[in-house]
Amino acid sequence: MILHIDMDAFFASIEQAINPRLKEKPLIVGSRDNRMHTVVCAASYEAKAYGIDSGMSSRDALQLCPNLEFVPAQQGRYIWISEQIFRMLEGYGFSLAYTSIDEFQMDINDSVEPQKFARQIQERIYADFHITASVGIAKNWLLAKLASKLNKPNGIAVLTDTNLTEILDLVAVGKICGVGKKTGQILSDLGVKTCLDLYLKSADFLEQNLGKYGFNLYLSLHSQERFEPAEEESRPKSVGHSYTLPRATQTPGFIRAWVRLLSEMVAQRLRAQNLLADTVHLWLNGPEMGNLGAQKAFHEGSNDGYQIYQRSLKIMAKIGPKMPKVRALGVTCSGLLPNRYLPLFEEQKRREDLLKTIDKINGRFGEGSIYPGIIGLTKRMPRI
């Protein structure tokens, strides 16, 4: 059997778990800081009760619920908690795969009773992270994903050969993953209204009307093959961050401050992927100089923001004593290698412990919750 573990209102639930003031209140998580000019990334179940859901403009959401609470998205926080949940699930020893940041699939065997095991996972997630998950159990990944939607929130649904047709007959075909509005309309015109209607159609029928996608849909619905976790993605070739300033400036301290900030952001991403970079590329753009980019390779790799900043300054020194006007800038690291090195000296160990603590705080409370003091930037670090 396949267990599909789907977190309930993931982003919103995390914010409610962190901030007790938001518990049991209608809440939306916005993609931008401005509550009146953003899109709903996630809505709490209290907000969903007003008809609010992801993809809706925040202005429309506030019209439906004027007392709506608002929190800007903290991507680093959600990724960190997702990774912690994945590691916790890995501990059970079954094949495990991500399907999205808030969904996981586990291939279990006969050594566990599925429903009891699903409840154990739910209790563990709530105990460790104070958020809930719904679990679907079925013979393949597509049906398990469908089942996870049936008893939200904090529910468990099992699709077996005994109850499969009865349950599928009650569920609209649009609930199947991959059946969007366009495909749903095509199926509706063909008389396919429910998931059972779709399940009973032949492979030839679906291929004839939906092409290759229809044939793959049939295979996914009827498959009983075990899944293999997706192979780990190959290492990225580079990691970078850039930013466009509100207006061009040639104040050296201000420009260096932004290089420091971007270096730190790149370093955090390198550490999150356990990578070192031995090459730094600095890019500057301005009305007088156009695009100016230069890079330098170093003997040792690094994922320390301060070291990447110092290396960027060496590249910047090539520009000359007079700083031209800069409107946009970026820091990119390449020459990436896995970090397999352990700190040898006490100072290195202290520095690594400090970086781990900073990453943990930023992962839990959002990118930029803590960052180095930077001369030249007097305001709080903006979200980039």
Enzyme catalytic residues: 103
Contact 198, 175 (CB under 8 A): no
Helix segments in the chain, DSSP class H? 10-18, 45-48, 58-64, 75-90, 114-129, 141-148, 164-168, 181-189, 195-200, 203-210, 212-222, 252-272, 305-316, 346-365
Sequence-distant (6+) residues with CB within 8 A of 221 are 140, 142, 143, 176, 198, 199
∠ CA 226-231-233, nearest 5°, is 150
Nearest to 114 by CA among 1, 251, 265: 1
What is the full DSSP assignment across 250-275? --HHHHHHHHHHHHHHHHHHHHHTTE
DSSP 66: T
User: For 12, phi and psi rounded to 5 degrees?
Assistant: -65, -40
What is the edge-to-edge ordering of all strands in the sheet holding 103-107?
Answer: 95-100, 103-107, 2-7, 133-138, 156-158
Query: 113: Cβ–Cβ under 8 A, 6 or more apart, which residues?
Result: none
